[in-house]
Amino acid sequence: MKNIFVKAEIITIGNEILIGQIVDTNSAFLAEKLNELGVSVIQINSIPDKPDIIVSALNDASYRADIIIITGGLGPTNDDITKQTLASYFNSDLVMNMDVLEQIRLLLSSRGVTMNENNRLQALLPETCEVLKNRHGTAQGMLFNKSGKIFVALPGVPYEMKGIFTEELAPLLKARYKLPVIIHRTALTSGIAESHLAKLIEKWELSLPEHISLAYLPSPGIVRLRLSGTSIKEEMHLREEINNQMNRLEEIIQPWIYGYDNDTLEEITGKLLKAKSYTLSLAESCTGGKVSSMITSVPGCSDYFKGSCTAYSNQVKADVLGVNYDKIEHYGAVSREVATEMAYGARKVFRTDFAVSVTGIAGPTGGTDTKPVGTTWIAVASPQGIKAEKYQFGEHRERNIQKASITALFMLRNAIRLCS
Smallest separation, CB 91 to its own copies (Å):
26
DSSP 303: G
| Closest to its own copies by CB, 18 or 418 | 18
Query: Residues binding its own copies: what is the number (CB under 8 A)?
Result: 108
State the minimum distance, in angstroms, from the CB of residue 214 to its own copies: 7
The widest CA-to-CA distance across the chain, in whole angstroms, is: 78
CB of 111 vs its own copies, minimal distance in Å: 6
Is 277 among the residues that bind its own copies (CB under 8 A)? no
- Cβ at position 47, least distance to its own copies in Å: 5
Position 288 contacts its own copies (CB under 8 A): yes
Question: Residue 40 burial by CB count (10 A; 0-12/13-18/19+): exposed, middle or buried?
Answer: middle
Closest C-alpha among 119, 18, 116, 9 to residue 70: 9
Q: Which of 148, 209, 255, 299 binds its own copies (CB under 8 A)?
A: 299
Residue from the set 308, 335, 340, 359 that interacts with its own copies by CB under 8 A: 308
- Any idea what DSSP says for residue 254? G
Q: Which of the residues 82 through 101 are near its own copies (CB under 8 A)?
A: none
Look at residues 304, 403, 318, 417 and name the one whose alpha carbon lies nearest to residue 363: 403
Residue 140 found at the interface with its own copies (CB under 8 A): no
| 3-state class (DSSP) for residue 276 | coil
Q: For helices 82-89 and 51-64, what crossing angle results, to 10°?
A: 60
229 binds its own copies (CB under 8 A): no
Q: Give how far Cα 266 sits from Cα of 43, 270, 280, 281, Å.
A: 35, 6, 12, 13
By CB under 8 A, name the one of 248, 395, 417, 418 that touches its own copies. Answer: 395
102, 127, 235, 398: residue in contact with its own copies (rule CB under 8 A): 398
Reduced to 3 states (helix: H, G, I; strand: E, B; else coil), residue 146 is strand
Q: How far apart are CA 152 and CA 39, in angstroms?
A: 15
Query: Is 350 a residue that touches its own copies (CB under 8 A)?
Result: yes
Q: For its own copies, which is the closer residue by CB, 4 or 23?
A: 23
In the complex with its own copies, the residue whose CB is nearer, 128 or 348, is 348
Note whether 45 binds its own copies by CB under 8 A: yes
Cα–Cα nearest to 359, from 383, 332, 322: 332
Q: Does 103 bind its own copies (CB under 8 A)?
A: no
Residue 229 burial by Cβ neighbours in a 10 Å radius (0-12, 13-18, 19+): buried
When asked if residue 192 is in the footprint of its own copies (CB under 8 A), the reply is no
Phi-psi region of 332 (alpha: psi -120 to 50; beta: other; left: phi over 0): left
CA distance 85 to 54: 8
Q: Which is nearer to its own copies, 106 or 418 (CB)?
A: 106
Does position 293 interact with its own copies (CB under 8 A)? The reply is yes
For the chain, the first-to-last Cα distance in angstroms comes to 52
Which of 37, 48, 331, 387 binds its own copies (CB under 8 A)? It is 48
Binding mask 146-185 for its own copies (x = CB under 8 A): -----------x-x------------------------x-
Stretch that binds its own copies, among 139-147, 242-250, 298-306, 353-361 (CB under 8 A): 298-306
Q: Give the interface segment with its own copies, choosing from 29-37, 93-101, 146-154, 249-257 (CB under 8 A).
A: 29-37
